[in-house]
Chain A
Amino acid sequence: MHVDHLLLKKEEVNPLPIRKFVPYLYLAPCILMMGLFVYYPIVENFRFSFYDFSAFSPDKAFVGFTNFISLFHDPVFYTALKNNVWYAVISIICQVFGGLILAAILEDPITRFISSFFRTVFFLPVVISVTVIALLFTFVYEPNMGILNSFLHGLGLDSWTREWLGDSETAIFAVIAVSQWQSIGYIMMLFIVAIQAVPREIYEAAEMDGAGKVRKFISVTVPQVKEMFFVASLITLTGAFTVFNEPYILTGGGPGNASEVLGTLLYNSAFAKDQMGYASAIATVILVLTLLVSLVQMKLFRTGKDD
Protein backbone atom coordinates (compact mmCIF):
# COMPACT_ATOMS: atom_id res chain seq x y z
CA MET A 1 0.00 0.00 0.00
CA HIS A 2 0.90 3.61 -0.03
CA VAL A 3 3.57 3.74 2.60
CA ASP A 4 6.58 4.22 0.34
CA HIS A 5 7.20 7.72 1.58
CA LEU A 6 7.08 6.47 5.14
CA LEU A 7 9.60 3.76 4.38
CA LEU A 8 12.04 5.48 2.08
CA LYS A 9 13.35 7.80 4.77
CA LYS A 10 17.07 7.37 5.34
CA GLU A 11 18.17 5.92 8.63
CA GLU A 12 21.24 7.75 9.76
CA VAL A 13 21.09 7.01 13.41
CA ASN A 14 23.91 5.44 15.33
CA PRO A 15 22.45 2.68 17.40
CA LEU A 16 22.63 3.17 21.12
CA PRO A 17 25.37 1.19 22.81
CA ILE A 18 23.19 -1.48 24.31
CA ARG A 19 22.85 -5.16 25.08
CA LYS A 20 21.70 -7.35 22.23
CA PHE A 21 18.33 -8.48 23.51
CA VAL A 22 17.07 -4.99 24.31
CA PRO A 23 15.58 -4.13 20.87
CA TYR A 24 13.64 -7.38 20.94
CA LEU A 25 12.12 -6.36 24.26
CA TYR A 26 10.72 -3.21 22.66
CA LEU A 27 9.35 -5.20 19.75
CA ALA A 28 8.02 -8.15 21.74
CA PRO A 29 4.51 -6.77 22.38
CA CYS A 30 4.04 -5.95 18.66
CA ILE A 31 5.28 -9.33 17.53
CA LEU A 32 3.17 -11.15 20.08
CA MET A 33 -0.05 -9.29 19.22
CA MET A 34 0.35 -9.46 15.47
CA GLY A 35 1.59 -13.01 15.52
CA LEU A 36 -1.30 -14.25 17.60
CA PHE A 37 -4.19 -12.21 16.16
CA VAL A 38 -3.14 -11.41 12.59
CA TYR A 39 -0.72 -14.00 11.22
CA TYR A 40 -1.63 -17.16 13.12
CA PRO A 41 -5.33 -16.91 12.10
CA ILE A 42 -4.39 -16.51 8.43
CA VAL A 43 -2.40 -19.74 8.49
CA GLU A 44 -5.11 -21.49 10.50
CA ASN A 45 -7.76 -20.35 8.06
CA PHE A 46 -5.90 -21.97 5.20
CA ARG A 47 -5.69 -25.23 7.18
CA PHE A 48 -9.34 -25.00 8.31
CA SER A 49 -10.55 -24.82 4.72
CA PHE A 50 -9.63 -28.50 4.29
CA TYR A 51 -11.68 -29.59 7.32
CA ASP A 52 -15.32 -30.00 8.20
CA PHE A 53 -16.20 -28.84 11.70
CA SER A 54 -18.67 -26.87 13.80
CA ALA A 55 -18.20 -23.92 16.10
CA PHE A 56 -18.55 -25.57 19.46
CA SER A 57 -17.21 -29.07 18.88
CA PRO A 58 -13.52 -29.89 19.16
CA ASP A 59 -13.69 -32.59 16.45
CA LYS A 60 -12.56 -31.83 12.94
CA ALA A 61 -12.80 -34.14 9.97
CA PHE A 62 -10.26 -33.79 7.17
CA VAL A 63 -12.16 -33.56 3.88
CA GLY A 64 -9.49 -32.51 1.39
CA PHE A 65 -10.77 -30.22 -1.32
CA THR A 66 -14.44 -31.03 -0.70
CA ASN A 67 -15.22 -27.54 0.65
CA PHE A 68 -13.76 -25.88 -2.41
CA ILE A 69 -15.47 -28.30 -4.78
CA SER A 70 -18.90 -27.74 -3.26
CA LEU A 71 -18.20 -23.98 -3.15
CA PHE A 72 -17.43 -23.90 -6.86
CA HIS A 73 -20.65 -25.83 -7.53
CA ASP A 74 -22.75 -23.48 -5.41
CA PRO A 75 -24.76 -21.05 -7.58
CA VAL A 76 -24.95 -18.60 -4.65
CA PHE A 77 -21.15 -18.35 -4.72
CA TYR A 78 -21.36 -17.06 -8.29
CA THR A 79 -24.14 -14.61 -7.40
CA ALA A 80 -21.93 -13.32 -4.59
CA LEU A 81 -18.86 -13.12 -6.81
CA LYS A 82 -20.84 -11.27 -9.49
CA ASN A 83 -22.08 -8.79 -6.87
CA ASN A 84 -18.52 -8.24 -5.63
CA VAL A 85 -17.44 -7.52 -9.20
CA TRP A 86 -20.30 -5.00 -9.55
CA TYR A 87 -19.12 -3.52 -6.27
CA ALA A 88 -15.60 -3.19 -7.65
CA VAL A 89 -16.60 -1.66 -10.99
CA ILE A 90 -19.03 0.87 -9.53
CA SER A 91 -16.65 1.78 -6.70
CA ILE A 92 -13.83 2.51 -9.14
CA ILE A 93 -16.08 4.74 -11.24
CA CYS A 94 -17.75 6.62 -8.38
CA GLN A 95 -15.05 6.76 -5.75
CA VAL A 96 -11.84 6.95 -7.76
CA PHE A 97 -13.03 8.96 -10.76
CA GLY A 98 -15.75 10.86 -8.89
CA GLY A 99 -13.44 11.52 -5.95
CA LEU A 100 -10.71 12.81 -8.25
CA ILE A 101 -13.08 15.19 -10.03
CA LEU A 102 -14.46 16.55 -6.74
CA ALA A 103 -10.92 17.00 -5.43
CA ALA A 104 -9.87 18.87 -8.57
CA ILE A 105 -12.88 21.18 -8.31
CA LEU A 106 -12.25 21.89 -4.64
CA GLU A 107 -8.59 22.66 -5.32
CA ASP A 108 -9.41 24.99 -8.20
CA PRO A 109 -8.69 28.62 -7.25
CA ILE A 110 -12.19 29.55 -8.42
CA THR A 111 -13.83 27.69 -5.50
CA ARG A 112 -11.18 28.61 -2.95
CA PHE A 113 -13.24 30.85 -0.72
CA ILE A 114 -15.76 28.12 0.05
CA SER A 115 -13.88 24.89 -0.61
CA SER A 116 -13.04 24.08 3.03
CA PHE A 117 -16.75 24.09 3.87
CA PHE A 118 -17.63 21.67 1.06
CA ARG A 119 -14.60 19.54 1.88
CA THR A 120 -15.72 19.11 5.47
CA VAL A 121 -19.31 18.27 4.53
CA PHE A 122 -18.27 15.81 1.81
CA PHE A 123 -16.00 14.05 4.32
CA LEU A 124 -18.65 13.79 7.05
CA PRO A 125 -20.14 10.43 5.92
CA VAL A 126 -16.68 8.87 6.22
CA VAL A 127 -16.54 9.44 9.97
CA ILE A 128 -20.06 8.21 10.69
CA SER A 129 -20.39 4.57 11.68
CA VAL A 130 -21.50 2.29 8.89
CA THR A 131 -24.31 0.97 11.11
CA VAL A 132 -25.73 4.47 11.52
CA ILE A 133 -25.49 5.11 7.79
CA ALA A 134 -27.02 1.78 6.81
CA LEU A 135 -29.92 2.27 9.22
CA LEU A 136 -30.39 5.83 7.94
CA PHE A 137 -30.57 4.48 4.40
CA THR A 138 -33.28 2.00 5.32
CA PHE A 139 -35.31 5.22 5.74
CA VAL A 140 -34.03 6.64 2.46
CA TYR A 141 -35.15 3.47 0.65
CA GLU A 142 -38.35 2.97 2.66
CA PRO A 143 -41.03 2.30 0.00
CA ASN A 144 -43.87 4.49 1.34
CA MET A 145 -42.41 7.59 2.91
CA GLY A 146 -38.68 7.12 2.18
CA ILE A 147 -36.66 10.05 0.89
CA LEU A 148 -35.90 8.48 -2.49
CA ASN A 149 -39.44 7.49 -3.44
CA SER A 150 -40.87 10.77 -2.12
CA PHE A 151 -38.33 12.63 -4.23
CA LEU A 152 -39.24 10.65 -7.37
CA HIS A 153 -42.90 11.18 -6.58
CA GLY A 154 -42.28 14.91 -6.26
CA LEU A 155 -40.66 14.95 -9.70
CA GLY A 156 -43.67 13.13 -11.15
CA LEU A 157 -41.62 10.01 -11.81
CA ASP A 158 -43.97 7.66 -9.96
CA SER A 159 -43.24 4.82 -12.36
CA TRP A 160 -39.62 4.85 -11.15
CA THR A 161 -40.51 4.32 -7.51
CA ARG A 162 -40.05 0.84 -6.14
CA GLU A 163 -39.13 -1.16 -3.08
CA TRP A 164 -35.41 -0.60 -3.59
CA LEU A 165 -34.08 -3.07 -1.03
CA GLY A 166 -36.86 -5.65 -1.48
CA ASP A 167 -36.60 -5.92 -5.25
CA SER A 168 -34.06 -8.52 -6.33
CA GLU A 169 -33.24 -6.44 -9.42
CA THR A 170 -32.24 -3.35 -7.47
CA ALA A 171 -31.21 -4.60 -4.01
CA ILE A 172 -27.49 -4.98 -4.66
CA PHE A 173 -27.27 -1.64 -6.46
CA ALA A 174 -29.11 0.11 -3.65
CA VAL A 175 -26.55 -1.38 -1.26
CA ILE A 176 -23.62 -0.41 -3.46
CA ALA A 177 -24.96 3.14 -3.68
CA VAL A 178 -24.81 3.47 0.12
CA SER A 179 -21.15 2.46 0.11
CA GLN A 180 -20.39 5.05 -2.57
CA TRP A 181 -22.24 7.73 -0.62
CA GLN A 182 -20.14 6.95 2.43
CA SER A 183 -16.72 6.53 0.84
CA ILE A 184 -16.38 9.08 -1.99
CA GLY A 185 -15.35 11.72 0.56
CA TYR A 186 -12.48 9.59 1.77
CA ILE A 187 -10.94 9.02 -1.66
CA MET A 188 -11.61 12.69 -2.46
CA MET A 189 -9.58 13.72 0.59
CA LEU A 190 -6.65 11.53 -0.52
CA PHE A 191 -6.70 13.21 -3.93
CA ILE A 192 -6.91 16.66 -2.34
CA VAL A 193 -3.74 15.93 -0.38
CA ALA A 194 -2.09 14.67 -3.60
CA ILE A 195 -3.16 17.71 -5.64
CA GLN A 196 -1.88 20.08 -2.96
CA ALA A 197 1.54 18.51 -3.40
CA VAL A 198 1.63 19.33 -7.14
CA PRO A 199 4.02 22.25 -7.74
CA ARG A 200 2.01 25.38 -8.64
CA GLU A 201 4.52 26.24 -11.37
CA ILE A 202 3.21 23.42 -13.52
CA TYR A 203 -0.30 24.86 -13.47
CA GLU A 204 1.18 28.27 -14.03
CA ALA A 205 3.06 27.06 -17.11
CA ALA A 206 -0.05 25.36 -18.46
CA GLU A 207 -1.99 28.59 -18.01
CA MET A 208 0.68 30.52 -19.89
CA ASP A 209 0.15 28.10 -22.73
CA GLY A 210 -3.51 29.02 -22.64
CA ALA A 211 -4.80 25.74 -21.22
CA GLY A 212 -8.37 25.82 -19.95
CA LYS A 213 -9.64 24.06 -16.84
CA VAL A 214 -10.45 20.76 -18.52
CA ARG A 215 -7.12 20.75 -20.33
CA LYS A 216 -5.25 21.47 -17.07
CA PHE A 217 -7.13 18.65 -15.35
CA ILE A 218 -6.26 16.11 -18.06
CA SER A 219 -2.71 17.21 -18.78
CA VAL A 220 -1.48 18.31 -15.35
CA THR A 221 -3.63 17.01 -12.49
CA VAL A 222 -4.21 13.46 -13.71
CA PRO A 223 -0.57 12.60 -14.51
CA GLN A 224 0.65 14.36 -11.37
CA VAL A 225 -1.57 12.36 -9.02
CA LYS A 226 -1.01 9.04 -10.79
CA GLU A 227 0.56 7.47 -7.73
CA MET A 228 -2.45 8.32 -5.56
CA PHE A 229 -4.66 7.02 -8.33
CA PHE A 230 -3.17 3.56 -7.91
CA VAL A 231 -3.39 3.73 -4.15
CA ALA A 232 -7.02 4.79 -4.34
CA SER A 233 -7.93 2.00 -6.74
CA LEU A 234 -6.15 -0.54 -4.54
CA ILE A 235 -8.12 0.65 -1.51
CA THR A 236 -11.47 0.61 -3.30
CA LEU A 237 -10.87 -2.75 -5.00
CA THR A 238 -9.76 -4.47 -1.81
CA GLY A 239 -12.74 -2.91 -0.07
CA ALA A 240 -15.08 -4.14 -2.81
CA PHE A 241 -14.01 -7.76 -2.41
CA THR A 242 -14.10 -7.79 1.40
CA VAL A 243 -17.30 -5.78 1.90
CA PHE A 244 -19.62 -7.11 4.61
CA ASN A 245 -21.22 -4.40 6.74
CA GLU A 246 -23.50 -2.62 4.26
CA PRO A 247 -25.06 -5.74 2.65
CA TYR A 248 -25.40 -7.45 6.04
CA ILE A 249 -27.23 -4.53 7.66
CA LEU A 250 -29.30 -3.37 4.69
CA THR A 251 -30.49 -6.64 3.16
CA GLY A 252 -28.76 -9.55 4.89
CA GLY A 253 -28.01 -10.81 1.38
CA GLY A 254 -31.67 -10.90 0.35
CA PRO A 255 -34.21 -10.96 -1.12
CA GLY A 256 -33.41 -14.63 -1.65
CA ASN A 257 -29.69 -14.44 -2.31
CA ALA A 258 -29.93 -11.53 -4.71
CA SER A 259 -27.61 -9.18 -2.82
CA GLU A 260 -25.29 -11.77 -1.32
CA VAL A 261 -21.56 -10.90 -1.41
CA LEU A 262 -18.63 -13.12 -0.42
CA GLY A 263 -18.49 -11.48 3.01
CA THR A 264 -22.12 -12.21 3.89
CA LEU A 265 -21.84 -15.70 2.40
CA LEU A 266 -18.88 -16.34 4.69
CA TYR A 267 -20.74 -15.00 7.71
CA ASN A 268 -23.90 -16.99 7.00
CA SER A 269 -21.99 -20.21 6.40
CA ALA A 270 -20.03 -19.82 9.62
CA PHE A 271 -22.53 -18.39 12.07
CA ALA A 272 -25.98 -19.24 10.67
CA LYS A 273 -25.33 -22.68 9.16
CA ASP A 274 -22.36 -23.57 11.39
CA GLN A 275 -20.27 -24.85 8.48
CA MET A 276 -16.94 -23.51 9.72
CA GLY A 277 -14.79 -25.38 7.19
CA TYR A 278 -16.89 -24.17 4.27
CA ALA A 279 -16.68 -20.61 5.61
CA SER A 280 -12.89 -20.92 5.84
CA ALA A 281 -12.79 -22.00 2.20
CA ILE A 282 -14.72 -18.84 1.27
CA ALA A 283 -12.25 -16.80 3.32
CA THR A 284 -9.37 -18.43 1.44
CA VAL A 285 -10.99 -17.42 -1.86
CA ILE A 286 -11.37 -13.82 -0.59
CA LEU A 287 -7.72 -13.80 0.49
CA VAL A 288 -6.57 -15.03 -2.92
CA LEU A 289 -8.75 -12.44 -4.70
CA THR A 290 -7.44 -9.53 -2.62
CA LEU A 291 -3.84 -10.68 -3.02
CA LEU A 292 -4.35 -10.96 -6.79
CA VAL A 293 -5.76 -7.44 -6.88
CA SER A 294 -2.76 -6.16 -4.91
CA LEU A 295 -0.30 -7.97 -7.16
CA VAL A 296 -1.89 -6.69 -10.37
CA GLN A 297 -1.99 -3.17 -8.94
CA MET A 298 1.66 -3.28 -7.90
CA LYS A 299 2.66 -4.61 -11.31
CA LEU A 300 0.71 -1.84 -13.05
CA PHE A 301 2.14 0.69 -10.65
CA ARG A 302 5.73 -0.38 -11.38
CA THR A 303 5.10 -0.12 -15.12
CA GLY A 304 3.52 3.24 -14.55
CA LYS A 305 6.60 4.42 -12.69
CA ASP A 306 8.99 3.62 -15.52
CA ASP A 307 7.62 5.97 -18.12
Chain B
Amino acid sequence: MIDLETKAAIDYTYNVPAKRRSKKGKIKEAVPLYFILVVYFIVVAYPLFWMIVNSFKTTDEIFSNSWAMPQKWLFSNYSHAWETGISGYFVNSLVVTVTTCLGTVFISALGAYGLTRFSFKGKNALLILCMGGMMLSPQVSLVPLYKLIQALGIHDTYLALILPYVAYRIPITLLLIRAAFLDVPKELEESAVLDGCSSWAVFTKIFLPLNYPILLTGIILTAYFTWNEFMFALIFVDSESLKTIPAGLMQFRDALQTNWGVLLAGLMISAAPIILLFLFMQKYFIRGLAAGSVKG
Protein backbone atom coordinates (compact mmCIF):
# COMPACT_ATOMS: atom_id res chain seq x y z
CA MET B 1 0.00 0.00 0.00
CA ILE B 2 1.24 3.48 -0.80
CA ASP B 3 1.87 5.40 2.37
CA LEU B 4 -0.74 8.02 3.04
CA GLU B 5 1.44 11.08 2.55
CA THR B 6 2.61 10.08 -0.89
CA LYS B 7 -0.93 9.21 -1.76
CA ALA B 8 -2.19 12.57 -0.59
CA ALA B 9 0.51 14.27 -2.64
CA ILE B 10 -0.42 12.30 -5.74
CA ASP B 11 -4.09 13.01 -5.20
CA TYR B 12 -3.34 16.68 -4.77
CA THR B 13 -1.30 16.88 -7.98
CA TYR B 14 -3.80 15.00 -10.09
CA ASN B 15 -7.02 16.21 -8.66
CA VAL B 16 -6.76 19.83 -9.62
CA PRO B 17 -9.71 19.38 -11.92
CA ALA B 18 -9.63 20.41 -15.52
CA LYS B 19 -13.16 21.67 -15.32
CA ARG B 20 -13.74 22.90 -11.81
CA ARG B 21 -17.02 21.61 -10.53
CA SER B 22 -19.11 24.12 -8.66
CA LYS B 23 -19.06 23.92 -4.89
CA LYS B 24 -22.77 23.22 -4.85
CA GLY B 25 -22.35 20.30 -7.24
CA LYS B 26 -19.65 18.87 -5.02
CA ILE B 27 -21.84 18.95 -1.94
CA LYS B 28 -24.67 17.35 -3.89
CA GLU B 29 -22.29 14.56 -4.87
CA ALA B 30 -20.97 14.11 -1.36
CA VAL B 31 -24.31 13.82 0.43
CA PRO B 32 -25.36 10.33 -0.76
CA LEU B 33 -21.85 8.98 -0.19
CA TYR B 34 -21.71 10.26 3.38
CA PHE B 35 -25.24 9.03 3.96
CA ILE B 36 -24.19 5.47 3.08
CA LEU B 37 -21.07 5.73 5.26
CA VAL B 38 -22.96 7.05 8.27
CA VAL B 39 -25.75 4.48 8.01
CA TYR B 40 -23.28 1.61 7.77
CA PHE B 41 -21.22 3.14 10.57
CA ILE B 42 -24.28 3.00 12.85
CA VAL B 43 -25.00 -0.60 11.84
CA VAL B 44 -21.45 -1.65 12.71
CA ALA B 45 -20.68 0.57 15.66
CA TYR B 46 -23.97 0.52 17.53
CA PRO B 47 -23.96 -3.16 18.61
CA LEU B 48 -20.33 -2.78 19.71
CA PHE B 49 -21.16 0.39 21.63
CA TRP B 50 -24.19 -1.36 23.17
CA MET B 51 -21.93 -4.22 24.28
CA ILE B 52 -19.48 -1.82 25.95
CA VAL B 53 -22.15 0.21 27.77
CA ASN B 54 -24.21 -2.74 28.96
CA SER B 55 -21.16 -4.65 30.17
CA PHE B 56 -21.15 -2.15 33.06
CA LYS B 57 -24.78 -2.70 34.10
CA THR B 58 -26.73 -5.11 36.26
CA THR B 59 -29.03 -7.57 34.49
CA ASP B 60 -32.07 -5.69 35.78
CA GLU B 61 -30.80 -2.45 34.35
CA ILE B 62 -30.06 -4.07 30.96
CA PHE B 63 -33.62 -5.33 30.91
CA SER B 64 -35.30 -2.13 31.99
CA ASN B 65 -33.07 0.39 30.29
CA SER B 66 -30.61 -1.10 27.79
CA TRP B 67 -30.40 2.12 25.73
CA ALA B 68 -29.20 4.46 28.46
CA MET B 69 -25.80 4.96 30.06
CA PRO B 70 -25.28 2.89 33.25
CA GLN B 71 -26.59 4.58 36.39
CA LYS B 72 -23.56 3.25 38.18
CA TRP B 73 -20.57 1.90 36.24
CA LEU B 74 -20.14 -1.66 37.53
CA PHE B 75 -16.47 -2.41 36.96
CA SER B 76 -17.02 -5.41 39.20
CA ASN B 77 -18.65 -7.18 36.20
CA TYR B 78 -15.19 -7.45 34.72
CA SER B 79 -13.54 -8.94 37.79
CA HIS B 80 -16.53 -11.24 38.20
CA ALA B 81 -16.20 -12.46 34.58
CA TRP B 82 -12.46 -12.89 35.00
CA GLU B 83 -12.94 -15.03 38.10
CA THR B 84 -15.86 -17.04 36.69
CA GLY B 85 -13.62 -18.72 34.14
CA ILE B 86 -12.39 -16.20 31.61
CA SER B 87 -8.96 -16.06 33.28
CA GLY B 88 -8.41 -19.78 32.65
CA TYR B 89 -9.58 -19.59 29.02
CA PHE B 90 -7.44 -16.51 28.57
CA VAL B 91 -4.27 -18.27 29.73
CA ASN B 92 -5.07 -21.29 27.52
CA SER B 93 -5.61 -19.05 24.51
CA LEU B 94 -2.37 -17.27 25.25
CA VAL B 95 -0.36 -20.50 25.48
CA VAL B 96 -1.90 -21.98 22.35
CA THR B 97 -1.62 -18.75 20.34
CA VAL B 98 2.00 -18.00 21.23
CA THR B 99 3.13 -21.58 20.56
CA THR B 100 1.20 -21.77 17.29
CA CYS B 101 2.60 -18.45 16.07
CA LEU B 102 6.21 -19.31 16.81
CA GLY B 103 5.85 -22.84 15.41
CA THR B 104 4.07 -21.74 12.24
CA VAL B 105 6.42 -18.90 11.38
CA PHE B 106 9.58 -20.84 12.16
CA ILE B 107 8.57 -23.94 10.18
CA SER B 108 7.26 -21.83 7.29
CA ALA B 109 10.45 -19.76 7.19
CA LEU B 110 12.52 -22.95 7.06
CA GLY B 111 10.36 -24.21 4.20
CA ALA B 112 10.47 -20.90 2.36
CA TYR B 113 14.26 -20.86 2.65
CA GLY B 114 14.43 -24.41 1.28
CA LEU B 115 12.17 -23.48 -1.62
CA THR B 116 13.91 -20.23 -2.59
CA ARG B 117 17.59 -20.85 -2.04
CA PHE B 118 18.14 -24.30 -3.51
CA SER B 119 17.25 -26.10 -6.69
CA PHE B 120 16.30 -29.71 -6.24
CA LYS B 121 14.02 -32.42 -7.53
CA GLY B 122 10.33 -32.08 -6.76
CA LYS B 123 10.51 -28.38 -5.93
CA ASN B 124 7.51 -27.37 -8.04
CA ALA B 125 5.49 -30.30 -6.77
CA LEU B 126 6.14 -29.11 -3.23
CA LEU B 127 5.09 -25.58 -4.08
CA ILE B 128 1.83 -26.87 -5.56
CA LEU B 129 1.30 -29.06 -2.50
CA CYS B 130 1.60 -25.94 -0.41
CA MET B 131 -0.89 -23.92 -2.44
CA GLY B 132 -3.33 -26.81 -2.49
CA GLY B 133 -3.25 -26.82 1.29
CA MET B 134 -4.77 -23.34 1.25
CA MET B 135 -7.81 -24.46 -0.71
CA LEU B 136 -8.75 -27.25 1.69
CA SER B 137 -11.03 -26.20 4.50
CA PRO B 138 -10.66 -27.84 7.92
CA GLN B 139 -14.37 -28.79 8.03
CA VAL B 140 -13.77 -31.41 5.38
CA SER B 141 -11.16 -33.22 7.50
CA LEU B 142 -12.98 -33.04 10.79
CA VAL B 143 -13.73 -36.75 11.32
CA PRO B 144 -10.32 -38.13 10.25
CA LEU B 145 -8.52 -35.40 12.21
CA TYR B 146 -10.52 -36.34 15.30
CA LYS B 147 -9.54 -39.99 14.81
CA LEU B 148 -5.91 -39.05 14.16
CA ILE B 149 -5.70 -36.95 17.29
CA GLN B 150 -7.10 -39.82 19.31
CA ALA B 151 -4.61 -42.23 17.73
CA LEU B 152 -1.70 -39.90 18.52
CA GLY B 153 -2.90 -39.81 22.12
CA ILE B 154 -3.04 -36.01 22.19
CA HIS B 155 -6.82 -35.58 22.42
CA ASP B 156 -7.69 -33.11 25.18
CA THR B 157 -4.22 -31.54 25.35
CA TYR B 158 -2.86 -28.23 24.04
CA LEU B 159 -1.14 -30.17 21.27
CA ALA B 160 -4.52 -31.29 19.87
CA LEU B 161 -5.04 -27.64 18.90
CA ILE B 162 -1.49 -26.45 18.27
CA LEU B 163 -0.48 -29.12 15.75
CA PRO B 164 -3.53 -28.79 13.43
CA TYR B 165 -3.39 -24.98 13.70
CA VAL B 166 0.26 -24.94 12.67
CA ALA B 167 -0.39 -27.36 9.80
CA TYR B 168 -3.30 -25.31 8.43
CA ARG B 169 -1.44 -22.00 8.74
CA ILE B 170 1.78 -23.19 7.07
CA PRO B 171 0.65 -22.82 3.41
CA ILE B 172 -0.27 -19.14 3.47
CA THR B 173 2.56 -18.20 5.85
CA LEU B 174 5.11 -20.04 3.74
CA LEU B 175 3.94 -18.32 0.54
CA LEU B 176 4.11 -14.90 2.24
CA ILE B 177 7.64 -15.50 3.51
CA ARG B 178 8.75 -17.09 0.24
CA ALA B 179 7.80 -13.92 -1.68
CA ALA B 180 9.95 -11.86 0.69
CA PHE B 181 12.90 -14.29 0.56
CA LEU B 182 12.91 -14.16 -3.27
CA ASP B 183 13.67 -10.44 -2.99
CA VAL B 184 16.84 -10.90 -0.93
CA PRO B 185 19.78 -10.00 -3.24
CA LYS B 186 21.98 -12.99 -3.92
CA GLU B 187 25.15 -10.93 -3.44
CA LEU B 188 24.41 -10.84 0.26
CA GLU B 189 24.50 -14.57 0.70
CA GLU B 190 27.33 -15.07 -1.79
CA SER B 191 29.62 -12.91 0.28
CA ALA B 192 28.46 -14.70 3.41
CA VAL B 193 29.25 -18.05 1.83
CA LEU B 194 32.68 -16.74 0.78
CA ASP B 195 33.24 -15.81 4.41
CA GLY B 196 32.62 -19.44 5.25
CA CYS B 197 29.04 -19.31 6.46
CA SER B 198 26.99 -22.50 6.28
CA SER B 199 23.48 -22.43 4.78
CA TRP B 200 22.12 -22.56 8.34
CA ALA B 201 24.14 -19.50 9.31
CA VAL B 202 22.94 -17.65 6.21
CA PHE B 203 19.38 -18.49 7.26
CA THR B 204 19.63 -17.42 10.89
CA LYS B 205 22.07 -14.51 10.52
CA ILE B 206 20.86 -12.97 7.26
CA PHE B 207 17.43 -14.15 6.15
CA LEU B 208 15.58 -14.06 9.45
CA PRO B 209 16.79 -10.65 10.68
CA LEU B 210 16.52 -9.08 7.23
CA ASN B 211 12.90 -10.16 6.75
CA TYR B 212 11.53 -9.45 10.18
CA PRO B 213 8.59 -7.32 8.88
CA ILE B 214 7.17 -10.23 6.91
CA LEU B 215 7.79 -12.59 9.83
CA LEU B 216 5.87 -10.17 12.02
CA THR B 217 3.02 -10.11 9.48
CA GLY B 218 3.01 -13.91 9.58
CA ILE B 219 2.87 -13.89 13.37
CA ILE B 220 0.01 -11.38 13.46
CA LEU B 221 -2.10 -13.26 10.92
CA THR B 222 -1.51 -16.53 12.73
CA ALA B 223 -2.39 -14.93 16.06
CA TYR B 224 -5.61 -13.56 14.60
CA PHE B 225 -6.57 -17.00 13.28
CA THR B 226 -5.60 -18.91 16.42
CA TRP B 227 -7.14 -16.57 18.97
CA ASN B 228 -10.50 -16.76 17.19
CA GLU B 229 -10.60 -20.37 15.96
CA PHE B 230 -13.75 -22.11 17.17
CA MET B 231 -14.42 -25.51 15.59
CA PHE B 232 -11.24 -27.37 16.51
CA ALA B 233 -11.28 -25.73 19.93
CA LEU B 234 -14.79 -27.04 20.49
CA ILE B 235 -14.12 -30.61 19.38
CA PHE B 236 -10.51 -31.52 20.11
CA VAL B 237 -10.48 -30.38 23.75
CA ASP B 238 -13.03 -31.59 26.31
CA SER B 239 -11.61 -30.47 29.66
CA GLU B 240 -12.92 -27.21 30.96
CA SER B 241 -9.43 -26.38 32.24
CA LEU B 242 -7.86 -26.56 28.77
CA LYS B 243 -10.46 -24.72 26.68
CA THR B 244 -9.47 -21.62 24.75
CA ILE B 245 -11.63 -18.50 24.75
CA PRO B 246 -13.89 -19.17 21.73
CA ALA B 247 -14.97 -22.61 23.01
CA GLY B 248 -14.85 -21.61 26.66
CA LEU B 249 -17.29 -18.75 26.05
CA MET B 250 -20.00 -21.30 25.25
CA GLN B 251 -19.53 -22.79 28.72
CA PHE B 252 -19.31 -19.33 30.20
CA ARG B 253 -22.65 -18.41 28.65
CA ASP B 254 -24.35 -21.49 30.10
CA ALA B 255 -22.89 -20.76 33.52
CA LEU B 256 -24.20 -17.19 33.41
CA GLN B 257 -27.66 -17.68 31.91
CA THR B 258 -29.10 -14.84 33.98
CA ASN B 259 -26.13 -12.59 34.57
CA TRP B 260 -25.94 -10.63 31.35
CA GLY B 261 -23.72 -7.78 32.48
CA VAL B 262 -21.01 -10.23 33.47
CA LEU B 263 -21.47 -12.20 30.25
CA LEU B 264 -21.00 -9.02 28.21
CA ALA B 265 -17.94 -8.11 30.28
CA GLY B 266 -16.54 -11.56 29.47
CA LEU B 267 -17.13 -10.95 25.76
CA MET B 268 -15.28 -7.63 26.05
CA ILE B 269 -12.28 -9.23 27.75
CA SER B 270 -12.19 -11.94 25.09
CA ALA B 271 -12.26 -9.54 22.16
CA ALA B 272 -9.87 -6.92 23.56
CA PRO B 273 -6.43 -8.47 22.85
CA ILE B 274 -6.95 -9.00 19.14
CA ILE B 275 -8.64 -5.61 18.71
CA LEU B 276 -5.64 -3.94 20.35
CA LEU B 277 -3.26 -5.99 18.21
CA PHE B 278 -5.16 -4.83 15.13
CA LEU B 279 -5.28 -1.16 16.13
CA PHE B 280 -1.55 -1.01 16.85
CA MET B 281 -0.37 -3.20 13.99
CA GLN B 282 -2.88 -2.23 11.30
CA LYS B 283 -0.23 -1.85 8.62
CA TYR B 284 1.14 -5.37 9.03
CA PHE B 285 -2.31 -6.81 9.41
CA ILE B 286 -3.68 -5.40 6.19
CA ARG B 287 -0.52 -6.05 4.23
CA GLY B 288 -0.76 -9.71 5.16
CA LEU B 289 -4.47 -10.06 4.43
CA ALA B 290 -4.06 -8.36 1.10
CA ALA B 291 -1.00 -10.35 0.04
CA GLY B 292 -2.60 -13.66 0.79
CA SER B 293 -6.24 -12.75 0.27
CA VAL B 294 -7.08 -15.77 2.33
CA LYS B 295 -9.18 -15.56 5.40
CA GLY B 296 -8.65 -17.61 8.53
Contacts and interface: CB of A to CB of B under 8 A. Distances in A.
Interface of A: 1-3, 5-7, 9-18, 20, 22-27, 29-31, 33-34, 36-42, 44-45, 48, 55, 101-102, 105-106, 108-112, 116, 118, 120-125, 127-132, 135-137, 139-140, 144-145, 147, 150, 181, 183, 185-186, 189-190, 193, 196, 200-201, 203-204, 207-208, 210, 212-213, 228, 231, 235, 238-239, 242, 244-245, 249, 263, 266-267, 270-271, 276, 279-280, 283-284, 286-287, 290-291, 294
Contact of B142 (A9, A10, A270): A270
B182 A11 contact: yes
Nearest to B27: A110
Contact of B186 (A12, A29, A147): A12
B160 to A, nearest CB: 11
B: contact size bracket: 35 or more
A16 B114 contact: no
B102 interface: no
22 contacts: A1-B292, A6-B178, A13-B182, A16-B189, A16-B193, A33-B170, A42-B136, A45-B144, A106-B37, A111-B33, A111-B34, A120-B279, A124-B275, A125-B48, A128-B274, A131-B230, A196-B2, A200-B11, A203-B14, A213-B29, A266-B142, A270-B142
Contact of A37 (B10, B51, B168, B282): B168
B94 interface: no
B170 A34 contact: yes
Interface of B: 1-2, 4, 7-8, 10-11, 14-15, 17-19, 26, 29-30, 33-34, 36-37, 40-41, 43-48, 50-51, 54, 62-63, 66-67, 107-108, 110-111, 113-120, 123, 126-127, 129-131, 133-137, 139-148, 163-164, 166-168, 170-171, 174-176, 178-179, 182-183, 186, 189-190, 193, 199, 202-203, 224, 227-228, 230-231, 235, 245-247, 249-250, 253, 260, 263-264, 267, 270-271, 274-275, 277-279, 282, 285-286, 289-295
Contacts of B54: 139
B114 A24 contact: yes
Nearest to A270: B143
B171 A208 contact: no
Given A22-B199, A42-B140, A109 B133 contact: no
Interface of B is mostly: helix
A30 B63 contact: no
B111 A189 contact: no
Nearest to A3: B175
B176 A6 contact: yes
A141 to B, nearest CB: 11
Nearest to A146: B66
A130 B152 CA distance: 29
A40 B148 contact: yes
Contact of B167 (A23, A38, A136, A286): A38
